Amino acid sequence: MQEILLSPAQSKTLSALYRAMEERYAAVAEEIGLSCAGCPDNCCDSYFLHYTYAEWAYLWQGLRTLDEALLARINDRARRYLAESRALLARGERPQLLCPLNEEDLCTLYSHRLMICRLHGIPAAMTRPDGQTLRFPGCFRCQEIVQAKHAGENDIPRMNRTDLLARMAELECELLGGKRHLYPKVKRTIAEMIAGGPPRIDKPFCER
């Protein structure tokens, strides 16, 4: 099976998109007065799912820069995460397990962290192609701050994700040669992306 790889230009595009996310996040966080400093929670144990081949490939670009000993520890943690999360899900419980990339309370692949890792925390909104607008409240600490400062839902500062997600979708479509709808959908945790190896595909469904 052929590995799905980002071209240098596509990697540059994704890096620029991530920077745009971080800048917009920082602006809204500053307006709200939100800081992670001293927070008793750790977002790295949130059960996040990721949905693009582009980010999966980008994650593996980062993993390949790590030394063998560190990569081995990450792989071991990813396998344990999978076993524990599957057991919890089978019992109908949402996993709350530390991400395998976390080591001594630091992300070992911070520069290659994925989109939701960069966006989680602040209130956000996005408009779907069908015109429906979805709103996200942010983390518990953020919700406490905005509830104390803002009386109405419409007064809360929000990060608009719509154009950022559209740009991510465009990159994904380009990566898959305009045949995105013909490939299996991605719905994986970081642990699954690590333990399963880099993204590979033989050919789109219609060509099999």
Give per-residue pLDDT as tens, 97-147: 999 999 998 999 999 999 999 998 889 999 988 999 999 888 888 888 888
Q: How confident is the model at residue 121, as a pLDDT?
A: 87
Q: Please check whether residue 189 is in contact with residue 38, taking contact to mean a CB–CB distance below 8 angstroms.
A: no
* Domain hosting residue 74, numbered range: 2-201
Q: How confident is the model at residue 162, as a pLDDT?
A: 95
Q: How confident is the model at residue 61, as a pLDDT?
A: 96
| Helix (H), strand (E) at residue 165 | helix 162-175
How sure is the predictor about 38, in pLDDT bands with cuts at 50, 70 and 90? Answer: confident
Residue 207 falls within a domain, yes or no? no
Closest CA to 71 of 39, 109, 40: 109
Task: Please state, in angstroms and rounded to a whole number, the distance separating the CA atoms of residues 61 and 181.
Answer: 24
Residue 60 falls within a domain, yes or no? yes
Helix count and strand count (H, E) for the chain:
7, 7
Residue 68 falls within a domain, yes or no? yes
Q: Please check whether residue 1 is in contact with residue 202, taking contact to mean a CB–CB distance below 8 angstroms.
A: yes
Residue 168 falls within a domain, yes or no? yes
Q: Regarding beta strands 106-107 and 102-103, do their DSSP bridges make them parallel or antiparallel, or are they unpaired?
A: antiparallel
pLDDT in tens, 56-101: 999 999 999 999 999 999 999 999 999 999 999 999 999 999 999 9
Burial class (CB in 10 A: 0-12, 13-18, 19+), 180: middle
Residue 191 falls within a domain, yes or no? yes
Q: How confident is the model at residue 39, as a pLDDT?
A: 79
User: How many domains does one find in the chain?
Assistant: 1
Q: How confident is the model at residue 23, as a pLDDT?
A: 95
Q: Please check whether residue 66 is in contact with residue 60, taking contact to mean a CB–CB distance below 8 angstroms.
A: no
Q: Regarding beta strands 124-127 and 133-136, do their DSSP bridges make them parallel or antiparallel, or are they unpaired?
A: antiparallel
Residue 52 falls within a domain, yes or no? yes
pLDDT in tens, 138-175: 888 888 888 888 767 777 889 999 999 999 999 999 99
Residue 23 falls within a domain, yes or no? yes
Residue 208 falls within a domain, yes or no? no
Q: Please check whether residue 44 is in contact with residue 107, taking contact to mean a CB–CB distance below 8 angstroms.
A: yes
